[in-house]
C-alpha cells in the first residue's frame, strides 16, 4: 500500500509514526517524542511525526483473529503503521530488554501481512544506568526479522536520572544539548527515509 505522504518542495514529505514503550503519562520517553514532534515542526521541513498510543491494544491472542481480520483497534493500529514511511521508537529498558507493551505492539504489527517491512526506523531511549542500551539492541534484533531498516548513527541513549535534570516534572525535555542530539537523529532518519523512498 502506498504511503499517504504529501510532497513538500521538490521532495516527498516523510510521515513518521512514533511509538512509546512506556505507558506512563509523564514518562521521559514520551517527553522525547513530544520534543521530536516539536523539532520536526520547527526546523525539519518535510518531516511529519505522529504519536500513536499503544495502550489500547489487547495482548496478542490469535483467537482474536477472525477470517484474516483483527479487532478494530488492532486494524487501526496496523493501518497507521502501514501508511507511514518511518517509525520512531522511544524504548525504555525494563529488565535488560524492551517493554511488554512495545513488544506486544510490534507483534500485532508483524501478524500477516507484516506492516513493518521496508520502513526506515530510529530508536531513542531515556532510562537509568546505561540509558537503554540493551533494550535498543534487542529491538534491533527484532527488527531484522521484521525487515525494519534502523539507522545506525547517531545512536541516542540518555541516562534520565543523571544530573543536571533533563526533564521537568511533566516529562518534558528541558536540556538544550539533548535536544540538539535528538535533532541530529531526526535529520538522519529523514535523510535515510528519503533514500529508501527513491530506491
What's residue 4's pLDDT? 44
Whether the Cβ atoms of residue 33 and residue 18 lie closer than 8 Å to each other? yes
Rounded to two decimals, the pTM is: 0.93
What ranges do the domains of the chain cover? Answer: 7-61+69-198
What's residue 129's pLDDT? 86
d(CA 87, CA 150): 9
pLDDT average per 10 residues of sequence, the chain (199 residues): 50 93 95 98 97 98 95 98 98 96 98 97 93 95 98 95 92 96 98 92
pLDDT in tens, 103-148: 999 999 999 999 999 999 999 999 988 889 999 999 999 999 999 9
CATH of 7-61+69-198, one of 3.50.50.60, 3.40.50.300, 1.20.120.80, 3.40.50.360: 3.40.50.360
Whether the Cβ atoms of residue 116 and residue 148 lie closer than 8 Å to each other? yes
Amino acid at each position: 500500500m502506498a504511503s499517504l505522504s504529501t510532497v513538500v518542495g521538490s521532495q516527498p514529505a516523510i510521515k513518521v509514526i512514533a511509538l512509546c514503550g512506556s505507558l506512563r503519562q509523564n514518562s521521559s520517553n514520551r517527553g522525547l517524542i513530544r520534543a521530536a514532534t516539536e523539532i520536526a515542526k520547527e526546523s525539519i521541513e518535510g518531516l511529519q511525526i505522529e504519536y500513536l498510543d499503544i495502550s489500547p491494544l489487547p495482548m496478542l491472542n490469535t483467537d482474536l483473529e477472525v477470517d484474516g481480520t483483527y479487532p478494530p483497534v488492532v486494524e487501526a493500529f496496523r493501518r497507521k503503521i502501514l501508511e507511514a514511511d518511518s517509525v520512531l521508537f522511544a524504548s525504555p529498558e525494563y529488565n535488560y530488554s524492551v517493554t511488554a507493551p512495545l513488544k506486544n505492539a510490534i507483534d500485532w504489527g508483524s501478524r500477516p501481512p507484516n506492516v513493518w517491512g521496508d520502513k526506515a526506523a530510529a530508536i531513542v531511549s531515556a532510562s537509568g544506568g546505561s540509558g537503554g542500551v540493551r533494550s535498543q539492541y534487542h529491538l534491533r534484533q527484532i527488527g531484522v526479522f521484521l525487515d525494519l531498516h534502523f539507522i545506525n548513527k547517531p545512536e541516542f541513549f540518555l541516562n534520565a536520572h543523571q544530573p543536571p535534570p533533563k526533564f521537568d516534572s511533566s516529562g518534558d525535555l528541558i536540556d538544550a544539548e539533548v535536544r540538539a542530539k535528538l535533532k541530529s537523529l531526526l535529520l538522519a532518519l529523514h535523510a535515510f527515509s528519503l533514500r529508501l523512498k527513491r530506491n
